[in-house]
């Protein structure tokens, strides 16, 4: 990726400066475009030669994030051709990122030596917002200061800086009115909710406000997006959340989701008790307002209960498995109700539909600018030059635990060195 300019600068540096003592040249087996590893004390001499100091949270084997993630320091050359140098603004820690590091996720970024790591490795993270800090002479549509996101997942976003091709990036055309958090979290969860609602059900738009969707994991990033999109599109939402430690906290969570536009919010416990059927009957006016779509990211009994509320010929889309329990279905739902069970994976969908993905992102960002799509609550993890790898990795580890005050999000506050 960095190719000749890295080598040239490395060689020049080796002849004439303190780089001689401090730079670790890539090993023979490593890609020649590898970046130099530079001790902290020589950062300044590096930038003199047009290098940007960078750190990346990498893994070279699968396992628990706290055990396998480490912080790798390297430097990035000035961009040439169609290359773009980027600085991280913000990058979330999503459940799939952890599954990927554990080696149990279907897409596995290849382990490579491009960054000059001791072992071939991959950079963690699948989405995030970056700012352009410099561009090669052949870059056409990006300039310093622009905000971008990566076109595809699997590129590695947990890094302070990156060098990518212009073709790998989506430019945020109008960043006015948007925050890095909104841009950095738009491409996975909101897109997933948007496509599942639009692509798996033929809503009768003449009946806006009289049709429903039901979902579990309603407090998740996807769930909150589905609530808001439902509200925007005239679809009522029946939302299932996990009970909190105290009744007050549960009530507060329900209210928070209602403030976003949720029509009804129940706990998992409430759904799994006898009264739920009556509650659904009452909310849907005895079924005259059909529940036409179920979004399932939990599985187990919870998913079965969602399916039972669906009107005939409806779809249930499974997109996650947070309880790690399989989806079990009474046969009658298939035979007599003709329910259709689908799965959705935004990574594959996005690779097949790159233009539609970009349009979907722009649509959500437009709603965000106009205040119609609210931020998810976040548990911000500030990342600066002094941040330790272990501390960053611990935060990644917490992602699957649930009951967090908000989604873990790295925010880079270190500037360029």
Ligand X SMILES: NC(=O)c1ccc[n+]([C@@H]2O[C@H](COP(=O)([O-])OP(=O)(O)OC[C@H]3O[C@@H](n4cnc5c(N)ncnc54)[C@H](OP(=O)(O)O)[C@@H]3O)[C@@H](O)[C@H]2O)c1
**Complex with ligand X: residue 226 or 280, whichever CB lies closer:** 226
Considering the complex, what minimum distance in angstroms separates the CB of residue 298 from ligand X?
4
Structure tokens at 125: 């993270």
**Complex with ligand X: residue 79 or 109, whichever CB lies closer:** 109
In order, the DSSP letters of 184-234 are HTSTTHHHHHHHHHHHS----GGGTTSEEEEESSTTSHHHHHHHHHHHHHT
Considering the complex, what minimum distance in angstroms separates the CB of residue 338 from ligand X?
24
Cα 226 to Cα 232: distance, rounded to the nearest angstrom? 10
Q: Are 262 and 253 in contact (CB under 8 A)?
A: no
- The DSSP output letter for 304 is H
β-pair partners for 85: 134, 163
Considering the complex, what minimum distance in angstroms separates the CB of residue 241 from ligand X?
6
Structure tokens at 71: 């912080």
Other CB atoms within a 10 A radius of the CB of residue 218 amount to 26
Report the run of H or E that residue 74 belongs to, with start and end: strand 70-76
Considering the complex, what minimum distance in angstroms separates the CB of residue 47 from ligand X?
36
Considering the complex, what minimum distance in angstroms separates the CB of residue 365 from ligand X?
17
**Complex with ligand X: residue 203 or 344, whichever CB lies closer:** 344
Cα 344 to Cα 297: distance, rounded to the nearest angstrom? 10
**Residue 36 CB-density burial (10 A; 0-12 exposed, 13-18 middle, 19+ buried):** buried
- E-strand ranges in 219-355 read 235-241, 264-267, 291-296, 315-318, 340-343
Cα 351 to Cα 354: distance, rounded to the nearest angstrom? 6
**Complex with ligand X: residue 9 or 149, whichever CB lies closer:** 149
**Complex with ligand X: residue 268 or 417, whichever CB lies closer:** 268
**Residues marked as catalytic:** 105
| Alpha-carbon torsion angle 103, 104, 110, 116, nearest 10 | -30
Structure tokens at 210: 């009289």
- Residue whose CB is nearest to ligand X in the complex, by number: 320
**Complex with ligand X: residue 307 or 346, whichever CB lies closer:** 346
Q: What are the distances in angstroms from CA 272 to CA 301, 302, 303?
A: 8, 7, 11
Cα 193 to Cα 182: distance, rounded to the nearest angstrom? 15
Q: Are 268 and 243 in contact (CB under 8 A)?
A: yes
Considering the complex, what minimum distance in angstroms separates the CB of residue 81 from ligand X?
33
Considering the complex, what minimum distance in angstroms separates the CB of residue 257 from ligand X?
10
Considering the complex, what minimum distance in angstroms separates the CB of residue 305 from ligand X?
12
**Complex with ligand X: residue 19 or 264, whichever CB lies closer:** 264
Residues that bind ligand X (CB under 6 A): 94-96, 188-189, 192, 217, 219-222, 241-242, 297-298, 319-320, 322-323, 344-346, 402-403, 407
**Complex with ligand X: residue 51 or 105, whichever CB lies closer:** 105
Q: How far is CA 153 from the centre of its chain?
A: 9
């Amino acid at each position: 990726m960095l190719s000749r300019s890295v080598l040239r600068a490395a060689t020049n540096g080796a002849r004439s400066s303190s780089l001689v003592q401090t730079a670790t040249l890539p090993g023979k087996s490593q890609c020649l475009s590898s970046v130099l590893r530079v001790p902290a004390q020589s950062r300044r001499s590096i930038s003199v030669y047009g290098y940007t100091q960078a750190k990346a949270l990498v893994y070279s084997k699968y396992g628990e994030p706290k055990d396998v993630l480490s912080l790798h320091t390297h430097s990035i050359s000035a961009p040439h051709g169609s290359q773009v140098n980027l600085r991280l603004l913000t990058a979330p820690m999503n459940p799939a990122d952890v599954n990927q590091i554990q080696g149990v996720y279907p897409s596995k970024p290849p382990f490579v030596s491009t960054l000059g790591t001791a072992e071939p490795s991959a950079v963690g993270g699948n989405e995030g917002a970056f700012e352009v800090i410099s561009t090669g002479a052949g870059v056409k549509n990006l300039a310093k200061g622009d905000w971008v996101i990566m076109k595809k997942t699997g590129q590695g976003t947990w890094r302070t800086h990156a060098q990518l091709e212009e073709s790998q990036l989506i430019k945020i055309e109008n960043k006015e009115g948007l925050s890095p958090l909104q841009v950095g979290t738009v491409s996975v969860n909101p897109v997933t909710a948007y496509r599942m609602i639009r692509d798996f059900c033929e809503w009768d738009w003449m009946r806006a406000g009289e049709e429903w969707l039901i979902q579990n994991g309603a407090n998740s990033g996807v769930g909150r997006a589905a609530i808001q999109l439902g509200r925007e599109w005239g679809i009522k939402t029946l939302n299932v959340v996990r009970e909190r430690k105290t009744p007050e906290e549960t009530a507060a969570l329900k209210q928070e989701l209602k403030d976003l536009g949720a029509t009804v919010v129940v706990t998992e416990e409430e759904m799994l008790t006898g009264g739920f059927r009556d509650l659904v009957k009452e909310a849907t006016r005895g079924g005259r307002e059909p529940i036409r779509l179920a979004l399932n990211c939990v599985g187990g009994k919870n998913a079965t209960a969602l399916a039972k509320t669906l009107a005939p010929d409806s779809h249930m889309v499974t997109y996650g498995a947070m309880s790690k329990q399989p989806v079990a279905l009474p046969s009658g739902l298939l035979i007599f109700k003709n329910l259709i069970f689908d799965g959705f994976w935004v990574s594959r969908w996005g690779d097949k539909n790159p233009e539609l993905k970009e349009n979907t992102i722009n649509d959500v960002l437009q709603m965000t600018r106009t205040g119609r799509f609210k931020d998810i609550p976040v548990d911000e993890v500030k990342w600066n030059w002094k941040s330790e790898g272990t501390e960053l990795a611990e935060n990644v580890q917490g992602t699957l635990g649930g009951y967090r005050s908000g989604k873990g999000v790295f925010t880079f506050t270190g500037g360029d060195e």
